[in-house]
């Protein structure tokens, strides 16, 4: 295999997750481009566990680490090409950068992406949303890569898309997409994004290490409301704390371990279910081995 990317072993995931926790990944690869990525994927054992990593939000890696291969996409396959009312976006492009690029070009429809603290690959994989918008509302086509290193181009009709949930062809991962946008006023689009980000900074703990929204909102309700109504705002286990600013955020307040965070998640689920009769479902992905 003539690989051109960077490979490392026993890479501490605490360096790459927004919670700043997580044990080592057995293998950690940063591809150069799509061809390099395809060659690397094709050379992996068929049963090798793979974790696709963007900005490290929405992800809790346990303290024992990840016994598999992490493919780090931050800054890789991050192209953004705008042609008329279409945007081709690589999976490694930060959602906030996509929003700003489209706004500057006078394209509307992607502004909500400014509120998603991840990359387009992650947004596609979970139908991420913010400020009332969801990723797949603007997706026209996706490019995927299978475990044999083959590329596929697919349309939304080939996927089951729901709230924070996407399922489709097995063993394929998103490496890019085409977004369908609308002509708009560049100044107005940029001002709308500024207002959204100001709203987020007021209501969310943007200055603290967190994983983003911890739980999915139950139908017709909000996880934050249920947590607060259960008297759990500010609740703490070890160094992990329910944010006093927004109850659906768990922050690393004081050198938390991944175990602290996971125990707090489980405590919130149990207490909200006991008091409110609703079992909260995690929005964050929890992976890896306990220490």
**DSSP H/E element including 224:** helix 223-229
Beta-bridge partners for 69: 27, 50
Task: Select which of 62, 76, 100, 164 is catalytic.
Answer: 164
Tell me the torsion sign for CA atoms 6, 146, 92, 119: negative
Catalytic-residue membership of 164? yes
Cα separations (Å) of 139 from 163, 176, 276?
15, 10, 36
Query: What is the pLDDT confidence band of residue 280, given thresholds at 50, 70 and 90?
Result: very high
Residue with tokens 């591809």: 31
Is the model's pLDDT at 70 over the cut of 70? yes
Strands 285-287 and 59-61: parallel
DSSP structural state of residue 163: T
Is the model's pLDDT at 50 over the cut of 80? yes
The domains of the chain, with CATH numbers, are 6-72 (3.30.43.10), 80-203 (3.30.465.10), 223-287 (3.90.78.10)
Please give the pLDDT value at position 32: 96
What mean pLDDT do residues 97-103 have? 98
> pLDDT (tens digit, 9 = 90+) per residue, 210-264?
999 999 999 999 999 999 999 999 999 999 999 999 999 999 999 999 999 999 9
Catalytic-residue membership of 255? no
Residue with tokens 């009769």: 277
Cα–Cα distance for residue pair 230/145, rounded to 1 Å: 44
Residue with tokens 């405590």: 267
Please give the pLDDT value at position 207: 80
Please give the pLDDT value at position 2: 80
Cα–Cα distance for residue pair 279/256, rounded to 1 Å: 25
Please give the pLDDT value at position 260: 98
Strands 165-167 and 151-154: unpaired
Catalytic-residue membership of 273? no
257-262's contacts with Cβ under 8 Å and 24+ in sequence apart are 257/21, 257/63, 258/19, 258/21, 258/22, 258/23, 258/60, 258/61, 258/62, 258/63, 258/288, 259/62, 259/63, 259/290, 259/291, 261/19, 261/21, 261/60, 261/211, 262/60, 262/62, 262/286
Please give the pLDDT value at position 5: 94
Cα–Cα distance for residue pair 218/276, rounded to 1 Å: 12
Cα–Cα distance for residue pair 35/236, rounded to 1 Å: 46
CB 213 within 8 A of CB 156: no
Task: Select which of 18, 57, 173, 213 is catalytic.
Answer: 213
Is the model's pLDDT at 71 over the cut of 70? yes
Please give the pLDDT value at position 1: 62
> Which among 159, 119, 165, 164 has a CA at the least distance from the CA of 142?
159
CA atoms within 13 A on the CB side of 4: 9
Enter the tokens of residue 72. Answer: 């780090």
Taking each helix axis from N to C terminus, what angle separates 186-203 and 95-104, rounded to the nearest 10 degrees? 150
């Amino acid at each position: 295999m003539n690989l051109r990317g960077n490979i490392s072993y026993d890479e501490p995931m605490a360096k790459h997750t927004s919670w700043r926790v997580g044990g080592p990944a057995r293998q950690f690869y940063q591809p150069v481009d799509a061809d390099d990525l395809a060659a690397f994927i094709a050379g992996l054992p068929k049963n090798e566990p793979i974790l696709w990593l963007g900005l490290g939000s929405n992800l809790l890696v346990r303290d024992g680490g990840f016994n598999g291969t992490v493919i780090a996409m931050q800054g890789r396959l991050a192209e953004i090409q705008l042609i008329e009312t279409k945007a081709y976006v690589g999976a490694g492009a930060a959602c906030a950068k996509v929003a700003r690029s489209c706004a500057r070009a006078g394209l509307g429809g992607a502004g909500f992406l400014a509120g998603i603290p991840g990359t387009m690959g992650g947004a596609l994989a979970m139908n991420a949303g913010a400020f009332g918008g969801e990723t797949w509302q603007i997706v026209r086509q996706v490019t995927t890569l299978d475990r044999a290193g083959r590329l596929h181009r697919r349309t939304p009709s080939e996927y089951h898309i729901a709230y924070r949930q996407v399922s489709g062809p097995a063993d394929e991962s998103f490496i890019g997409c085409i977004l369908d946008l609308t002509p708009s006023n560049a100044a107005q689009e940029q001002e709308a994004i500024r207002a959204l980000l100001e709203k987020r900074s007021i209501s969310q703990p943007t200055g603290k290490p967190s994983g983003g929204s911890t739980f999915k909102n139950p139908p017709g309700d909000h996880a934050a409301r249920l947590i607060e109504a259960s008297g759990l705002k500010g609740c703490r286990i070890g160094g992990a704390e329910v944010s006093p600013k927004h109850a659906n955020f768990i922050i690393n307040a004081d050198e938390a371990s991944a175990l602290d965070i996971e125990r707090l998640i489980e405590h919130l689920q149990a207490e909200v279910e006991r008091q409110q009769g609703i079992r909260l479902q995690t929005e964050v992905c929890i992976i890896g081995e306990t220490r």
